[in-house]
Amino acid sequence: MDNCDWCSLSEEDRRFQLYETGSWSVFLSDEQDYIGRCILVLKRHCSSLSELTDDEWGELRDLICKIEVCLKTVLGAALCNWSCLMNSFYKDPAPDPHLHIHVRPRYDKPVVLGGNAYTDGEFGHHYALNKSGAIPVEDKEEVFGRLKGWLDRFPFAEE
């Protein structure tokens, strides 16, 4: 799709790409309201989960397993909140969504990055919608490095 941002990601957009499979890319989100928050983006233009092929579903299942283990192992997440929303595309009178899935790791104890401790004050409840997602760039780099390091060491092929 010519006018789809997700179909034409720049090198800069891919700066925080953590991982990819044949069908999916995984990025560390700009918003780090929950430390380690990521977004899984389907590589082809497709509007809904119901239009995924069997192969794409299979890869997504393996990817969800991989990302959950990574977030629990590397950052100490207690669980992950997965969501496929797409609401913002429907503000357009002619919506043409590009399938993507958010994952917010949830924590029953603080995540410490550098000298900063990040607390999940809503643990046990729905994730907050208006929490600041801004963290210092060095903390974001540390999260990225830790997650990517783990994912690079444990790619699918070694399972």
Ranges within 94-123 binding Zn ion (CB under 5 A): 98
Ranges within 35-64 binding Zn ion (CB under 5 A): 45
Stretch that binds Zn ion, among 2-10, 59-67, 111-119, 137-145 (CB under 5 A): 2-10
CB atoms within 10 A of CB 85: 11
If the CB atoms of residues 98 and 146 are measured against Zn ion, the closer one turns out to be: 98
**Residue 1 Cβ vs Zn ion, minimum distance, rounded to whole Å:** 5
Q: Compute the CA torsion angle 145, 150, 151, 152 (nearest 10 deg).
A: 80
**Residue 5 Cβ vs Zn ion, minimum distance, rounded to whole Å:** 7
- Residue at shortest CB range from Zn ion: 4
Count of residues touching Zn ion (by CB under 5 A): 6
**Residue 60 Cβ vs Zn ion, minimum distance, rounded to whole Å:** 17
Residues with Cβ within 8 Å of residue 27, at least 6 apart in sequence = 14, 16, 17, 18, 38, 39, 41
Helices 137-153 and 54-75 meet at what angle, rounded to 10?
120
If the CB atoms of residues 6 and 150 are measured against Zn ion, the closer one turns out to be: 6
Binding residues for Zn ion, rule: CB under 5 A, are 1, 4, 6-7, 45, 98
